[in-house]
Amino acid sequence: MKNKKIRYILVFLAIVIFAFTVVIILTFKGRGRRESKDVIKVGFIMSGSKDEEGWNGLHYDGIYSACEELDIELIIKENIKEHSGQCQVAISELANENVDIIILSSYGYATEVKDIVKEYPDITFYSESFDYYGDNLNCYFARIYQARYLSGIIAGHMSESGVIGYVAAMPNSEVNRGINAFTLGVKRANPDAKVVVAWSNSWDDGDREKQLAKELIEKENADVLAYHQNQPNVIEVAEASGVYSIGYHETYEGASDKFLTTVEFRWNITYKELLSDYIRGKSDVISTYWFGLEKEAIGLADVSSVVTQDIIADVESAKSEIVSGDKIFSGIIYDNQGQLRCNEDEIISDQVLMNSMDWYVEGVYIYEE
């Protein structure tokens, strides 16, 4: 009788433990993968076309590669312009297709949909902006400023006039830290050089970008051009004018040896990491993805044959320093107004780099039309 009673107790305890385990699993499943579905669906919102050169084409190649490797279904929304109301519509359409993830692959999307994402608590959003976070809104980018720094070293060495022109879309933390890192690289190579920045006020305005590039050459005596735009319009002007250029996103096919190198993203690395974490149920734990040289998520493309081995050695040395843990934004840094921004024993934090870099380092000049 006693043994029978013990057996009942053991059976009861086993049932309780099993039920408790099920509750724990269901409770902490999180926003990761929806277990009721066999295939994860990713909605990908783009400001341009998947077939275009530059920013959008490379993003598409990266997310497509990651989804193929991880057996994830990809649904894209192309030509969704920022601040037009189209992003909200695209989100609604993707939600109706029962996506699990929506990736906002342009900087300005987060501003217009930061509150709307709350209406879709079962969807995990990833925004390419560090300005907004939420329960289901995570952020990602790549430390492209590290590659900007390396390309700045090349520009500083190659410039004979000591003036590098830089056509950029608009001032924000992303663009500003790129300008600043590039300029620090330039001044590592040539402390007397300057970087003249011309604002186009748009990610995509080919005519204006070309006009500004011409003016930087003709009026400012720039003999190297760089840019932060979606398309390689600046390179076209540089090639036609016979000056050096540094690309952004990808290699410019058919360019001369005056095309020095390209600052490139390897988006497949970032997207694979991000999606893998989602599959593992970590999307509610990791809110920020910001990979750099340490994961080879960014870098420089092939360097032109006109760049000497001594210059390449300087670039490789700088790269090794960064991979080893040295910070670009550290030590004594003055802004272009003469204010000390970083002391000798200080490092500018990621928080500042992400969200509040509203100043420019010494050596940056804003072009006045």
Question: Is residue 78 located within the same domain as residue 196?
Answer: no
Return the higher-pLDDT residue of 352 and 53: 352
The domain boundary, picked from 142, 164, 182, lies at: 142
pTM of the model: 0.85
Identify whether 311 is part of a domain: yes
pLDDT in tens, 5-30: 555 555 555 555 555 554 444 444 44
Q: Are residues 128 and 157 in the same domain?
A: no
Structural domain range at position 230: 144-264+299-366
Same domain as 182, residue 91 = no
Tell whether 185 and 240 lie within a shared domain: yes
The whole-chain average pLDDT of the chain stands at 90
Residue 271, domain member (yes or no): no
User: Is residue 186 situated within a structural domain?
Assistant: yes
Contacts 24+ apart (CB under 8 A), 34-41: 34/100, 34/122, 37/98, 37/100, 39/71, 39/72, 39/73, 40/70, 40/72, 40/73, 40/100, 40/101, 40/275, 40/278, 40/279, 41/72, 41/73, 41/74, 41/75, 41/97, 41/98, 41/99, 41/100, 41/101
Query: Looking at residues 24-38, what average pLDDT do you find?
Result: 46
**Same-domain status, 183 and 332:** yes
Q: Is the pLDDT of residue 126 over 50?
A: yes
Q: Which of 142, 167, 182 is the last residue of a domain?
A: 142
Q: Can you give the pLDDT at residue 285?
A: 67
Number of domains composing the chain: 2
**Are 211 and 348 in the same domain?**
yes
pLDDT at 325: 94
Q: Residue 134 has what pLDDT? A: 84
Indicate the residue among 142, 162, 177 that finishes a domain. Answer: 142
Asked whether residue 198 carries a pLDDT value surpassing 80, the answer given is yes
Q: Do 51 and 108 fall into the same domain? A: yes
User: Are residues 131 and 200 both part of a single domain?
Assistant: no
Structure tokens at 356: 């509040």
| 244 and 185 assigned to the same domain | yes
Asked, for residue 112, whether it belongs to a domain, the answer is: yes
Whether residue 166 sits in one domain with residue 111: no
Q: What's residue 133's pLDDT?
A: 81
pLDDT of residue 131: 80
Can you give the pLDDT at residue 23? 44
* Claim to verify: residue 150 and residue 72 sit in the same structural domain: no
> pLDDT at position 5, please?
53
